Amino acid sequence: MVVFNERVLKNDQLKSVNTLKKEEQRSKTLLFDEKEMDKQIARAKKKNPFSLLQPPKARKEKKKEKLPEVKKSVADIIPIIDQTDSGLFQLKDDGGFFGIWQLQSTDINAMHDQEAGRNIYTLAKTYQGDKDPFKIISLNLPVSTQKQQQYLEKKIREAPNALSLRFLRKKLKELQYLEWGRTNREYFLFLYGPTELAVKERKDQFMRDVQLAVPLLPVSDEKQINLLYKLYNQNAKLGNKQ
C-alpha cells in the first residue's frame, strides 16, 4: 500500500497550472505582437507603398563622398599650354617641354643580316643608354597625295587632246582613292626635357646615335597639331576621312 503526500501533490498541481498559464500568456503576447506588426505594416503601406523597400534611416545617413571636380573646358584637361617659337610644346605645372620628330622607318627584311643586325644593335644601345624620358608612337595616317594631285590638275588644264585628258583624269581618281582608302604606318619620337635647350640637346644627341639606322625628320607645325589632336581624340579621323 502506497501512501501519497497530499502537500506534494498540491504543489505539483500548482506548478503545472502556473506553467500552463505562462505558456498561454506567451502565446497571447506573440499573437499580440504579430497583430501589432501586421497593423504597422498595413499603415506603412497606406502612407508609402515603397517604404518597406527603402533602407532604414541609419543606413541612409552615410557620409556623402566628395564628387570629383569636373573640368570646365578641354584646355583644363590637356596638359599642353602652348607651342613655343622654336616649335616645342610647353607643359603645365612646370612639366617642362617636349618636341616631336618623325622616324624614317627602314625595312630590315630587305637588308643583309650584318646590316640589319647593326641597325638593331644601334637602336637597342640608344634605348638602354638614354635615361631621360622619351616616347615612340606609331600611327596609321592617311596617305597624302596632295602634291601629285596638284600636278595632275595642272596637266589636266593644259591637256592638248581628249586622249591625254582621259588618261590624266583616270590617274587623278586613282590618287584620290589612295588618299581616301589607304594609310601609312608612321613613327614619331617624343623627346622631353625641363627646358627648351635640354630638349634640343637631346635631339642632337639622339640624331648622332641613330642617324645611320633611323634618320630623324622634322615635322611641320600643321602635322604636329593633327598628331596631337589624334592622340587626344582617338576616334577622330584625319585627312579626307573626316
Per-residue pLDDT at 88: 92
Per-residue pLDDT at 47: 59
Calpha distance 85→137 (Å, rounded): 24
Judge if 125 and 189 occupy the same domain.
Answer: yes
Judge if 38 and 86 occupy the same domain.
Answer: no
State the cell numbers at 159.
591637256
Judge if 52 and 79 occupy the same domain.
Answer: no
Per-residue pLDDT at 81: 87
**pLDDT-derived band of residue 98, with 50, 70 and 90 as boundaries?**
very high
**Total length of the chain:** 242
**pLDDT-derived band of residue 15, with 50, 70 and 90 as boundaries?**
low
Count of domains forming the chain = 2
Q: Please say if the pLDDT value at position 9 is more than 50.
A: no
| In the chain, % of residues over pLDDT 90 | 8
- Residue 172 belongs to some domain of the structure: no
Per-residue pLDDT at 21: 54
Q: Please say if the pLDDT value at position 228 is more than 80.
A: yes
Cell 573646358, residue located: 73
Judge if 131 and 230 occupy the same domain.
Answer: yes
Which amino acid makes up residue 178?
A: L
- Residue 167 belongs to some domain of the structure: no
- Residue 101 belongs to some domain of the structure: yes
What are 114-124's pLDDT values in tens digits? 888 888 888 88
Judge if 115 and 193 occupy the same domain.
Answer: yes
**pLDDT-derived band of residue 66, with 50, 70 and 90 as boundaries?**
confident
Max CA-CA distance within the chain?
151
Judge if 136 and 222 occupy the same domain.
Answer: yes
Per-residue pLDDT at 238: 66
- Residue 127 belongs to some domain of the structure: yes
What are 134-185's pLDDT values in tens digits? 888 888 887 778 888 889 898 888 888 888 888 888 988 888 888 777 778 8
What are the strands, taking DSSP E only, across the chain? 80-83, 89-91, 97-103, 134-142, 183-193, 216-217
Domain residues for the domain of 24 are 9-59
- Residue 65 belongs to some domain of the structure: no
Q: What angle do CA 114, 117, 118 make, to 5 degrees?
A: 85
Judge if 23 and 113 occupy the same domain.
Answer: no
- Residue 164 belongs to some domain of the structure: no
Judge if 89 and 192 occupy the same domain.
Answer: yes
Judge if 14 and 46 occupy the same domain.
Answer: yes
